[in-house]
Structure 1
Amino acid sequence: MAVLEIGLALLAIIVLIYWWSIATFKTFEQRSLPFEKPCPFFGNTKQSALQKVSHQKEITEFYLRTRHHKVVGFYNLRTPMIQVNDPELIKKILVKDFDYFPNHQLFITTNERLLNDMVNTMRDQRWKKMRNTLTPVFTAAKMRSMFVLMNDSFGECVQHLRTQGQSQSVEVDMKVLFQKLTSDVIATTAFGLKVNSFEDPTNEFYHVGSTLIFSSGIQFFKFTLSALMPKLFTFFNMAIFDGAKVDYFVRLVIDAMKQREKLNITRPDMIQLMMEAKKESTVNWTDDEIVAQCFIFFFAALDNNTNLTCIIAYELLHNPDIQQRLYEEVLNTKESLNGGPVTYDDVQKMTYMDMVVSETLRKWTLAPTVDRVCSKDYTLTDEDGTKLFDFKAGDRVSIPIAGLHGDDRYFPEPRKFDPERFSEERKGDIVPFTFIPFGAGPRSCIANRFAQMQVKGMLYHLLLNFKIEASPRTLKDMWESARFSLTPKSGFYMQLVPRK
């Protein structure tokens, strides 16, 4: 009898869990919004959640199947998201009617130190005040100063490669190479540290930082669990990040600020800029709120900037004619410097470099979607005033950036790598709000200039010294092989051939 009771109890638990997993899946049916049948637990994101395909590929394919609907229902795990497919409507939500959609949704519910103090998780007036505080940190003038610090790290990376290969070509996992470089760049530009992860790959900054990114492994599992079961996650007092490692970054920033104030030290990095911004702000920001901006800067930039540089290198080896043209522009820039170091302004003037980076961000957008939360009831209408959908306060909105970038109506042959789309002659033909790699409107990515500066600077130094070719382990089709984020399971192996 006991066995029967245990069996029935287990069956009841299984039924309850299954019911819970599909409890939100009537939302769009009840609100007369078209949608695709979701999978229990995973909604419309099963393939990427199980690390079978990249989130970019899954979002693009869902968009292409549903783009005939201007508004469509999408289940991100168990969360109902109202996906807006039309560029004009996207402009309304992100810009024109921003007051109705001012915040990001909270994917995770946690009381972990720093996470609720980061600018991307702040809401309403608190976000607006922090955004205003941060804006002066990312001006062109501040980028010029930071680029000088970056140049040292670029030089150390090239020297490491030269030493490795001597005069011979060398096979490199670009993911490992550029992750070390990006870590060094962030260490010097954001945290005031001089680190060389090529000479000392076991240094604490790189070791601690590389365990915090959550695109794979245990970090990815914890992030997914917190999004899927936030109450359970909170009930068991689980944490996405190791508290000791977060405290390491807190100490770095606070100790640096104290030392600089005591000794009157100035350095053109993010800590210095945040200290100045804090003094000039009318808001009395706490130390944790200041540190949190350095923290988000770190773990958002480490994976994204690394992946972007890897993917550009991947496209250049598969398109040798584009690589050669970019190398010629790099060479012309070097010759114009008369022996001087390359500067932020020099890199900004490289038009073909900008075209290559832009096309990479289109074809391989790092943020496949951007989200908003409706703050008050709102009726979305078409250009002619036709009602499309009634949003309620609390509704979550999804903008399918990867889908728009992969739509052949806006970008013919979307899987073709063609920098000419962004030439002076053709970029005016791009339909507004179909190319938004960093989002759009007041909540667009504030650090996009920094990311592009780092990538362009490294490509300048890399192409000046090496030709990028395929190695035996080079991936042939990343679109089919990449995991949740754009990182192939087999690595980013390439051959670097020293230039004479």
Structure 2
Amino acid sequence: MAYLEIFLAIVGIALLIYKWSIGTFKTFEKRKLPYEKPCPFFGNMAQSGLQRTSMHKELTEFYLRTRHHKVVGFYNLRKPMVQINDPELIKKICVKDFDYFPNHQLLITTNERLLNDMVNSMKDQRWKRMRNTLTPVFTAAKMRNMFVLMNDIFGECMQHLDKLSGNPSDGKAFEVDMKVLFHKLTSDVIATTAFGLKVNSFENPKNEFYSVGSTLIFSTALQFFKFTLSAMMPKVFTMLDMKIFDGKKVDYFVSLVVDAMKLREEQGITRPDMIQLMMEAKKESQNNWTDDEIVAQCFIFFFAALDNNTNLISITAYELLNNPEIQERLYQEILQTKEALNGGSLTYDAVQGMTYMNMVISETLRKWTLSPSIDRVCSKAYTLTDEDGTKLFDFKPGDLVTIPIAGLHRDDRYFPEPRKFDPERFSEERLSEIVPFTYMPFGAGPRSCIANRFAQMQAKGLLFHLLLNYKVEASPRTMKDMWQEARSFSLTPKTGFYMQLVPRQ
């Protein structure tokens, strides 16, 4: 009898959990919005949630199946989100009627230190004040000064590759996992430009900054589980007093910035990095930002840039090895730029003047956009209408919106042959062909990524040095099809980003 009671109890609990998992799935039916049938727990994200494909691929395929609807319902796990497929409507929500959709959703519901102080987590006027404080940090003039710091890291990376090659003058090819190489490079770039630290992760891969930082991105199954639990069951997450990040490791970053600011104020030290720029911005701002609020901006800079910037360079290199004629043309532009420098170091302005380099990076960001979607939250009742005034959807405060960037970037109506890597799409002659709000690698409107210039500057600077010294080719372990092999949130395949470098003679 006891066994039967236990069995019935288990069945009852399982049924309750199942009912909870589908509890939101009538939302779009009630609100008369087209949608695809969701899976329990995962909604329309089952394939990437179960690590069977990448989020980019799943979101793109969902968009391509539903693009005939200007507005469509999408279930991100259990969360109902209104997906906007039409460029004109995206412009309305992200720009024209921004006041109705000023905030991002909170992906992580937790009171952990720094997380709610990051600019992307801030809301309304608090976000606006911080955004205004940060904007001067990323001007072209400030980027020029930061680029000098970056150049030192590029040089260390090339020295490391020379050692790996044995004797570059032999011209002997060698294999490198580019993700690992560029991960160290990006960590060192962030260390010097954001935190005022000089580290060399190529010579000392066990340095504290790299070791601690590598554990803070979602690199383990446990972190992924905790993030998912926080998103799906925030009350349970809070009740169990769980944390996304190790508090001691977060405190490490806090002390880095606070101690650096204190030392600089006491000794009058200045350095063209983000700490210095934040210190200056704090003095000029009317807002009394706390140390934690200042540190949080350095922290999100690290958290957002480490994986994204690494992926941007890795994926560009992958496309160049698959398109040797494009690689050769880019190499010729690099040689011309080097000659124009007359023996001087690479500069920010020289990088900005490389038109074909810009076309290559722009096409990488189209085909492999770093963020497959962006979100907004409706703050007040809003009726979305078509150009002719036809009502499409009535938004309520709290409704979540998703913009399918990856899908738009691979829509053949806007980008013919979307699977083809074609930098010519971004030539001066063809730029006018791009429909506004179909190309948004860094988001759109006032909430777009503030550090986009920094990410591109790093990628272009490193590729200049890399291609000047090495030709990138496929190795036996180079993946055959990244679209099929990439998994989960990141575009990185489980097999790694292995490529072959051939020293140029």
Measured against the shorter chain, the TM-score band is: over 0.9
Q: In the aligned structure 2, how far is the partner of 1:422 from the partner of 1:221?
A: 39
Number of the residue aligned with 2:315: 311
One-letter amino acid matched to 1:362? R
Number of the residue aligned with 1:212: 216
Could you report, residue by residue, the CA deviation over 1:347-398 in whole angstroms, capped at 9, with x for unpaired residues? 0000000000000000000100000000000000000111111001110000
Q: In the aligned structure 1, how far is the partner of 2:326 from the partner of 2:219?
A: 30
Per-residue deviation, 1:3:
1.4
Number of the residue aligned with 2:498: 493
Match 2:339 to one of 316, 319, 335? 335
One-letter amino acid matched to 1:160? H
Per-residue deviation, 1:218:
2.4
Number of the residue aligned with 1:320: 324
SS in 2 for 1:371: strand
User: TM-score, normalised to structure 2's length?
Assistant: 0.98
Distance 1:297 1:19, change over 3 A: same
Number of the residue aligned with 1:202: 206
SS in 2 for 1:109: coil
Per-residue deviation, 1:221:
2.0
Match 1:395 to one of 394, 399, 404? 399
Per-residue deviation, 1:230:
1.1
Number of the residue aligned with 1:44: 44
Per-residue deviation, 1:435:
0.2
> What is the root-mean-square deviation in Å for CA atoms of aligned residues?
0.7
Number of the residue aligned with 2:70: 70
Number of the residue aligned with 1:376: 380
Superposed counterparts of 1:216-365, under 5 Å: 216-365=220-369
One-letter amino acid matched to 2:208? E
Work out whether 1:479 is the aligned partner of 2:483.
yes
Q: In the aligned structure 1, how far is the partner of 2:46 from the partner of 2:273?
A: 41
Number of the residue aligned with 1:449: 453
SS in 2 for 1:211: helix
Number of the residue aligned with 1:120: 120
Worse overlay, 6-15 or 86-95: 6-15
Worse overlay, 84-93 or 214-223: 214-223
Number of the residue aligned with 1:87: 87
Number of the residue aligned with 1:16: 16
One-letter amino acid matched to 1:115? L
Number of the residue aligned with 1:28: 28
Per-residue deviation, 1:416:
0.4
Match 1:439 to one of 436, 443, 446? 443
Q: In the aligned structure 2, how far is the partner of 1:262 from the partner of 1:364?
A: 45
Unpaired runs of at least 5, structure 1: none
Moved over 6 A (4+): none
Work out whether 1:191 is the aligned partner of 2:195.
yes
Unpaired runs of at least 5, structure 2: none
Per-residue deviation, 1:153:
0.2
Number of the residue aligned with 2:416: 412
User: TM-score, normalised to structure 1's length?
Assistant: 0.99
One-letter amino acid matched to 1:470? A
Per-residue deviation, 1:215:
5.4
Percent identical across equivalent pairs? Answer: 80
Per-residue deviation, 1:224:
1.4
Could you report, residue by residue, the CA deviation over 1:393-423 in whole angstroms, capped at 9, with x for unpaired residues? 1100000000000000000010000000000
Number of the residue aligned with 1:146: 146
SS in 1 for 2:344: coil
Per-residue deviation, 1:80:
0.2
Q: In the aligned structure 2, how far is the partner of 1:227 from the partner of 1:483?
A: 20
Work out whether 1:464 is the aligned partner of 2:480.
no
Could you report, residue by residue, the CA deviation over 1:460-488 in whole angstroms, capped at 9, with x for unpaired residues? 00000000000000001000000121000
One-letter amino acid matched to 1:225? L
SS in 1 for 2:121: coil
Q: In the aligned structure 1, how far is the partner of 2:260 from the partner of 2:174?
A: 38
Q: In the aligned structure 1, how far is the partner of 2:184 from the partner of 2:51?
A: 24
Per-residue deviation, 1:291:
0.2
Worse overlay, 33-42 or 161-170: 161-170
Q: In the aligned structure 2, how far is the partner of 1:224 from the partner of 1:314?
A: 30
Per-residue deviation, 1:489:
0.4
Number of the residue aligned with 1:385: 389
SS in 2 for 1:486: coil
One-letter amino acid matched to 1:124? D
Q: In the aligned structure 2, how far is the partner of 1:466 from the partner of 1:328?
A: 13
Q: In the aligned structure 1, how far is the partner of 2:186 from the partner of 2:208?
A: 15
SS in 2 for 1:122: coil
Q: In the aligned structure 2, how far is the partner of 1:184 from the partner of 1:101?
A: 36
SS in 2 for 1:442: helix
One-letter amino acid matched to 2:185? L
Could you report, residue by residue, the CA deviation over 1:285-320 in whole angstroms, capped at 9, with x for unpaired residues? 000000000000001000000000000000000000
Work out whether 1:426 is the aligned partner of 2:414.
no
Q: In the aligned structure 1, how far is the partner of 2:376 from the partner of 2:446?
A: 12
Number of the residue aligned with 2:157: 157
Could you report, residue by residue, the CA deviation over 1:26-51 in whole angstroms, capped at 9, with x for unpaired residues? 00000000000000000000111122
Q: In the aligned structure 2, how far is the partner of 1:223 from the partner of 1:213?
A: 11
Q: In the aligned structure 2, how far is the partner of 1:210 from the partner of 1:385?
A: 50
One-letter amino acid matched to 2:186? T
Q: In the aligned structure 1, how far is the partner of 2:401 from the partner of 2:327?
A: 39
Q: In the aligned structure 2, how far is the partner of 1:219 from the partner of 1:177?
A: 23
Per-residue deviation, 1:216:
4.9
Q: In the aligned structure 2, how far is the partner of 1:264 from the partner of 1:35?
A: 60
One-letter amino acid matched to 1:238? M
SS in 2 for 1:284: coil
Worse overlay, 161-170 or 439-448: 161-170
Could you report, residue by residue, the CA deviation over 1:58-115 in whole angstroms, capped at 9, with x for unpaired residues? 0100000000000000000000000000000000000000000000001110000000
Work out whether 1:56 is the aligned partner of 2:60.
no
Could you report, residue by residue, the CA deviation over 1:135-182 in whole angstroms, capped at 9, with x for unpaired residues? 000000000000000000000001100111022221000000000000
Work out whether 1:6 is the aligned partner of 2:10.
no
One-letter amino acid matched to 1:258? K
Per-residue deviation, 1:217:
3.0
Q: In the aligned structure 2, how far is the partner of 1:342 from the partner of 1:488?
A: 32
Per-residue deviation, 1:225:
1.7
One-letter amino acid matched to 2:403? I
